Amino acid sequence: MSPPKPFVNAGLNVGLERAINIADLRRMAQKRLPKAVFEFIDGGAEDEVTLRENRAAFERTLLCPRVLNDVSQPDMQTPWPGRTAQAPIVIAPMGSCVLAWPQADIAIAKAAASLGLPYTLSTMATTSIEAMADAVQGDLWFQLYVLKDHAFNDQLVQRAQAAGYGTLVVTLDLQAGGKRERDLRNGITVPLRLNMRQVLSGLAHPAWAWQMIRGGSPQYENVKGYMGQQSADLTIAAKVGQSLDPAYDWDDLARLRDRWKGQLMVKGVAHPDDAWRLAQMGVDTLWISNHGGRQLDGAAATLDALPAIARRLAGKMPLLLDSGVRRGVDILKAHTLGAQAVAVGRAVLYGAAAGGEAGARHALQILMDELRLSMKLSGLARWGDAADLVAPPTLPKPSTPS
């Protein structure tokens, strides 16, 4: 395969300095991308109840700040095995990012590495395990979708280990592809077949269209030869879903735990009983996720699921949370409820869609700056300190002298 062609800005005036929050970057992405592509990134499953609840959970969780702590230099450093991240933020695995920006996987990973943050490469990325390791000098994690062919799964794991990925993230909440109704209506399929509506939308977004033409047809580099050409014209979710193994069980995960020599995370946990059992079998970190509202519609918001899991585990292992994070204060709210860190997907992809690597870095910098400010205003000096900051439903009455 010939090396990818370099890309230019195609005359696009990104204007990233005008984006002061993630919502601004989302609006810029929406303006730059065709409707079908933006809704593929932005949308969820079915009625999008869980998509909305992920965000609503953060908005209804309030903080009760503390005072008289020295917060002149808030310390956001977060320990991970073998290294320390500069903030409690991880890049979540995302497939088909190339629809937002050419070589978006590498652009986002470079942005994360420049800020000292881990990046998780998806099985369904359009950049291979090896190409990412060659292109980015940072803390790289590999996310494994459990495919029906377990020998192929083993090959992916071996490739990740050989390429130097120190953390394996096994996704457990994708037994089938979610019903993405926006994608069905918009005709986002594999392979991508342009109808007249999509052609006209592309012409209305010339900078995006030119970059896509320059890049050629994207491929799922890590599963080449596996998914085949059968069942064309499925949505991306359905195409991926038909390759997944819905029979994968506890014994299969135990065998993987024995084979993988690095840190093992499991992603897609929501029930405290599952969390407890995973802790007992030697999983290193639990990643609480509902796939950003893109799988089971009606699943609990991750922030709502977090406290019960944190209580059940009582500090036995680190907890990572994704879905709905749009503000730095959201990261602090997750921490006060038991998460060591959060993972962000759409928030950083909006930035990449608006301006490539610079846009992704700007999105991460916004979150880090907002988190630093939130820590100051909440009286939290060090990220690792216990923080009883969540406001109870009824604030306590002032105590009176006896």
**CATH no. for 17-378:** 3.20.20.70
Residue 47 sits at the vertex; the CA angle it makes with 201 and 34, to the nearest 5 degrees, is 10
DSSP state of 33: S
Q: Using an 8 Å Cβ cutoff, are 120 and 349 in contact?
A: no
Token pair listed for 109 = 């990973």
* Structure confidence at residue 1 (pLDDT): 37
Query: pLDDT value at position 176?
Result: 83
| Residue 223 confidence (pLDDT) | 83
335 is catalytic: no
The region that residue 144 occupies, defined by phi over 0 for left and psi between -120 and 50 for alpha, beta otherwise, is beta
> pTM of the entire structure?
0.89
pLDDT tens-digit series, residues 190-205:
555 555 566 566 667 7
Segments making up each domain of the chain, as ranges: 17-378
Lowest mean pLDDT among 64-68, 138-142, 176-180, 202-206: 202-206
Mean pLDDT of 320-331: 98
The two tokens of residue 117 are: 């943050």
The C-alpha R_g of the chain, in whole angstroms, comes to 21
Please give the pLDDT value at position 9.
Answer: 40
List, in order, residues 6 or more apart from 69 with CB less than 8 Å away.
379, 380, 381
- Counts of helices then strands in the chain (DSSP H, E): 15, 12
% of the chain residues with pLDDT over 90: 66
Look at residue 313 and tell me whether its pLDDT is greater than 80.
yes
pLDDT at 4: 39
Per the prediction, the chain carries an average pLDDT of: 87
Beta strands in 116-199 (DSSP E): 119-121, 140-145, 167-171, 189-190
* Mean pLDDT (whole number) for 47-59: 97
* Residue 213 confidence (pLDDT): 65
pLDDT of residue 180: 87
pLDDT at 201: 64
Q: Inform me whether the pLDDT recorded for 216 exceeds 70.
A: no
Considering only residues 363 and 244, tell me which one the structure prediction assigns the higher pLDDT: 363
Q: How far is CA 238 from CA 180, 191, 344, in A?
A: 9, 12, 23
Specify the pairing of strand 167-171 against strand 140-145. parallel
What mean pLDDT comes out for the span 98-123?
95
Within 163-288, where are the H helices? 181-186, 196-203, 206-215, 236-241, 250-259, 272-280
pLDDT (0 to 100) of residue 305 = 97
Is the predicted pLDDT of residue 244 greater than 70, yes or no? yes
Exactly one of 205, 291, 335, 362 is catalytic; which is it?
291
Are 357 and 113 spatial neighbours (Cβ–Cβ below 8 Å)? no
- For the stretch 6-30, pLDDT in tens is 333 433 445 898 999 999 999 999 9
Each residue's pLDDT tens digit, 356-400: 999 999 999 999 999 999 999 999 999 988 667 877 665 555 555
